[in-house]
Structure 1
Amino acid sequence: LVSLSGLFIYCGLMYLISKNPDKVRWHTVIWGFALQLFLAIIILKWSLGYLAFQWLGERITNYLNYVDSGCMFLFGNNYEDHIFAMKILPTVIFVSSTINILFYLGLMQKLIVSVAQVIQFLLRTSACESFVSASNIFMGMGECPILIRPMLPSLTNSEIHAIMAGGFATISGSVMAAFIYFGVSAPHLISASVMSAPAALAIAKLVYPETEKPTMNVDSVNKFKPPEKSIFEAASAGAGSAISLAAIIGANLIAFISLLESVNQTLVWFGKRVGSKKTITFQYIISYLLWPFALTMGVKVEDCRKVGELIGVKTFINEFVAFQELGTLIKNRKKLNEHIAKNGTWSSERSVVISTYALCGFSNFGSIGIQIGMFTVLIPERKTIIPKLATRAMVVGSVSCFVTACIASR
């Protein structure tokens, strides 16, 4: 009942900040949540559906392990001594190359368009936003808009907002690979990205309803062809395009983790000056501020501060740092007594599952800059409205993940 009430609380909050509350098309909103609930039942409640996703997660994990041979060749037998730089970041390149090959073969387009047609039929959303929403299940927020680049100038502000929100609410396959390596459940990561796609569309249309008439249809989207001329060129291009992504991930982690440490040391210093018996850190403060959000998702009271801390780290820093900490918490459950002494209580597997769904998205302040920069380049004529759309879309992306966590927790 708590998680169910959280669902209504988040919807009510989004309606309050809606740009045009009287223009909300409730068919889209209701069917978006209905589709999300249907997917949750198939994946989480139906034994065959869960086993299917578990099997898919195991196959993906096995496939990702093939990157070890390339890492060993390039970095030597001791490459795991520097696990993030020499294992996780190369995995991003490997997955990007694989996805590009699938696009060259035409397999990814067929899968994405099939899902998009279902979303468009049920939610009555436009072809482009349905297409990008479907592609967000498999690709990142940086790649998906490029798939419809020629059509972007023709889109309405509501469509652009929905596309941005879908990017914030989901993660790409290449980034998912890194989270799996942290020890997070592959089936839950896959189902989180699948379930958040319709939720993002529903909440985006609640926050920024359509007031114009979209002009693009499915046939226009379906004509997309990759520029590569051979499978080898596709593999090379995919790997090359991921180099910048891997570099950005590494650079952001160095910068944000270092900045977080500087903030924490400053807070610790001030805490000692005022005689605090607790070690005051950014994580400690944010765990109290976001405690109610964790509670509304159905987290046990004793775990709410820890989940709130993870949400804060993900929102104000990035999802990599949050999932790395979640992976540590999952591993530490095997040494529960030691873990409780260091990090507080973490007694419930339910809390682990809810955290996985709540964190599974690119919705953080750093990603706002990425979205603004990318869309300003793609559609410069909208550069004045894009910052406003991106900020709203980030909120929608975060809430979409929270709503998915509410449903998953049931």
Structure 2
Amino acid sequence: MRYLIAVLGVLVVFVLTYAVSNDRRNIRYRPLFIMVVLQTLLAFALLNTSVGEFLIGGFASIFEKLLSYAGEGVNFVFGGIANEGQLPFFLNVLLPIIFISALIGILQYTKILPFIIKYIGLVLSKVNGMGKLESYNAVASAILGQSEVFISVKKQIGMLSKQRLYTLCASAMSTVSMSIVGAYMQMINPKYVVTAIVLNLFGGFIIASILNPYVVSKEEDILQVQEDEKQSFFEMLGEYIMDGFKVAITVAAMLIGFVAIIAMINGIFSGIFGISFQEMLGYIFAPFAFMMGIPWKEAVEAGSIMATKMVSNEFVAMLDLGKHTGLSARTVGIVSVFLVSFANFSSIGIISGAVKGLHEKQGNVVARFGLKLLYGATMVSVLSATVAGLFL
């Protein structure tokens, strides 16, 4: 029965995406079919095979080791503040972002990351039928982040059509930054974080191929990656450390604001209607949770967590998921995969602001299709969670 529901869920995602497609006549079904098959095989390999278990375990152990190194720096500065035996969220989840950001900077400086991103992107372009720029951007977004990735392709931003610009922005919203993956792994099972990152990469191409189909000519199919300004090693390191600190502080501020606002709205709704705001959203999102493979008896509870992610951010939703201890392991897995992306309302402003900072006219274009961007990225999350649910 669950396989039938999952297939139905995938079909519903395709229908909902097809319904708002920019150009249904130009949808290319061959690369679409190939990517759906690849996404399904990858989900099976990651969740149901010893090879997948080994790869995820290795990936998780690397981050566990990196976080332990980060902890050395955090404890040196804040060791006397934390109470013995307690794990303050800011110190243990957010501040290690600084070390991961510094490590990414080192890999960028030594040209290791650009090499990996470029050639994985070139391989993907052979599979997805899209341009080299789109494929590069999807991989780069998963490593550099939704704002920083546009800096690396700023030479081409002004020359892009609306269709190609949409695909670049959709990739940025559908993935997550490698600098905060370690933080996610401390809130949800690393297995689901890794699975979501891989599935979202292909899911972004699948949804974009339906919602925003177009053909890139050979003349347009070029990739111009912006070289970083020449800096000394320690100038670069200091910059990436400060960038990581800004991300940690920004996430902390967003959490304080969103958690407080949601608590206030829940209180108001409970007082007036006898039901919290999140519970009300849970009923709205429950059908989507059910078609993702979540049992109906848990669909409202899961739907409220999904809605929390969309109206606030994934950090707030992951913390909320940790409070719902009565959910089955399968439901936790499906919801966890859904949560690993930047698909929320605040990302519209972040992405349009990042593009506008590089090219004002194109930034205005992004702002105009912002809601459609969120719609597509949400469909990517639903698709990834549904496919993962087949093997949980």
Aligned mate of 1:165, from 162, 166, 170: 170
2:343 is the alignment partner of 1:363? yes
Q: Is the 8 A contact 2:131 2:216 kept in 1?
A: no
Q: Is the 8 A contact 2:204 2:377 kept in 1?
A: yes
- Three-state SS of the structure 2 residue aligned to 1:399 is helix
**AA matched with 1:357:** V
Structure 1: 5+ residue stretches without partners: 333-344
Q: Is the 8 A contact 2:133 2:223 kept in 1?
A: no
Deviation of the 1:106 alpha carbon: 1.2
**AA matched with 1:288:** Y
In structure 2, C-alpha distance between the alignment counterparts of 1:59 and 1:327, rounded to whole Å: 23
Deviation of the 1:211 alpha carbon: 5.8
Deviation of the 1:399 alpha carbon: 0.9
Matching of residues 128-277 of structure 1 within 5 Å: 128-182=133-187, 184-210=188-214, 213=217, 215-217=219-221, 220-221=224-225, 224-271=226-273, 276=274
- Three-state SS of the structure 2 residue aligned to 1:233 is helix
Query: Which residue of structure 2 lines up, in the alignment, with residue 325 of structure 1?
Result: 320
2:91 is the alignment partner of 1:86? yes
Deviation of the 1:219 alpha carbon: 5.5
Query: Deviations 1:96-147 (Å, cap 9, x if unpaired)?
Result: 1111111111111122122111210111111111001112232321121211
In structure 2, C-alpha distance between the alignment counterparts of 1:2 and 1:349, rounded to whole Å: 18
Query: Which residue of structure 1 lines up, in the alignment, with residue 12 of structure 2?
Result: 9
Q: Is the 8 A contact 1:169 1:200 kept in 2?
A: yes
Query: Which residue of structure 1 lines up, in the alignment, with residue 297 of structure 2?
Result: 302
In structure 2, C-alpha distance between the alignment counterparts of 1:8 and 1:286, rounded to whole Å: 23
Query: Deviations 1:341-383 (Å, cap 9, x if unpaired)?
Result: xxxx42x211111011111110001111111211122221224
2:107 is the alignment partner of 1:112? no
Q: Is the 8 A contact 1:171 1:360 kept in 2?
A: yes
Query: Which residue of structure 2 lines up, in the alignment, with residue 121 of structure 1?
Result: 126
**AA matched with 1:120:** S
The TM-score, its normalising length taken from structure 1, stands at 0.88
Matching of residues 271-290 of structure 1 within 5 Å: 271=273, 276=274, 280-290=275-285
In structure 1, C-alpha distance between the alignment counterparts of 2:353 and 2:50, rounded to whole Å: 43
**AA matched with 1:320:** F
In structure 2, C-alpha distance between the alignment counterparts of 1:313 and 1:371, rounded to whole Å: 20
Q: Is the 8 A contact 1:204 1:393 kept in 2?
A: no
Q: Is the 8 A contact 1:23 1:209 kept in 2?
A: yes
Cα RMSD after superposing both structures: 1.9
Deviation of the 1:269 alpha carbon: 1.7
In structure 2, C-alpha distance between the alignment counterparts of 1:262 and 1:51, rounded to whole Å: 44
Deviation of the 1:61 alpha carbon: 1.7
State which drifts further: 10-19 or 368-377. Answer: 368-377
Deviation of the 1:156 alpha carbon: 2.0
In structure 1, C-alpha distance between the alignment counterparts of 2:233 and 2:42, rounded to whole Å: 34
Q: Is the 8 A contact 1:288 1:305 kept in 2?
A: yes
In structure 1, C-alpha distance between the alignment counterparts of 2:361 and 2:166, rounded to whole Å: 15
2:55 is the alignment partner of 1:52? yes
Deviation of the 1:20 alpha carbon: 1.4
Aligned mate of 1:375, from 347, 355, 378: 355
In structure 2, C-alpha distance between the alignment counterparts of 1:324 and 1:234, rounded to whole Å: 33
- Three-state SS of the structure 2 residue aligned to 1:268 is helix
Q: CA 1:214–1:300 in structure 2 vs 1: closer, same or farther (change >3 Å)? A: farther
Q: Is the 8 A contact 1:32 1:198 kept in 2?
A: yes
Query: Deviations 1:258-307 (Å, cap 9, x if unpaired)?
Result: 21122111112213xxxx4xxx1111101111000010011122221121
Q: Is the 8 A contact 2:66 2:100 kept in 1?
A: no
Aligned mate of 2:29, from 17, 26, 29: 26
**AA matched with 1:311:** M
Query: Deviations 1:124-175 (Å, cap 9, x if unpaired)?
Result: 1111110011122323211212111111112221221111111211111222
- Three-state SS of the structure 2 residue aligned to 1:298 is coil
Query: Which residue of structure 1 lines up, in the alignment, with residue 108 of structure 2?
Result: 103
In structure 2, C-alpha distance between the alignment counterparts of 1:47 and 1:82, rounded to whole Å: 32
**AA matched with 1:38:** L
**AA matched with 2:249:** A
Q: Is the 8 A contact 2:155 2:224 kept in 1?
A: no
**AA matched with 1:153:** G
2:68 is the alignment partner of 1:65? yes
Q: Is the 8 A contact 1:286 1:309 kept in 2?
A: yes
**AA matched with 2:97:** V
Aligned mate of 2:78, from 75, 79, 89: 75
Deviation of the 1:32 alpha carbon: 2.7
Q: Is the 8 A contact 1:142 1:374 kept in 2?
A: yes
Aligned mate of 1:393, from 373, 381, 385: 373
2:311 is the alignment partner of 1:316? yes
Query: Which residue of structure 2 lines up, in the alignment, with residue 341 of structure 1?
Result: none
In structure 2, C-alpha distance between the alignment counterparts of 1:73 and 1:228, rounded to whole Å: 32
In structure 1, C-alpha distance between the alignment counterparts of 2:197 and 2:103, rounded to whole Å: 19
In structure 2, C-alpha distance between the alignment counterparts of 1:303 and 1:179, rounded to whole Å: 23
State which drifts further: 89-98 or 383-392. Answer: 383-392
The TM-score, its normalising length taken from structure 2, stands at 0.92
In structure 1, C-alpha distance between the alignment counterparts of 2:260 and 2:296, rounded to whole Å: 31
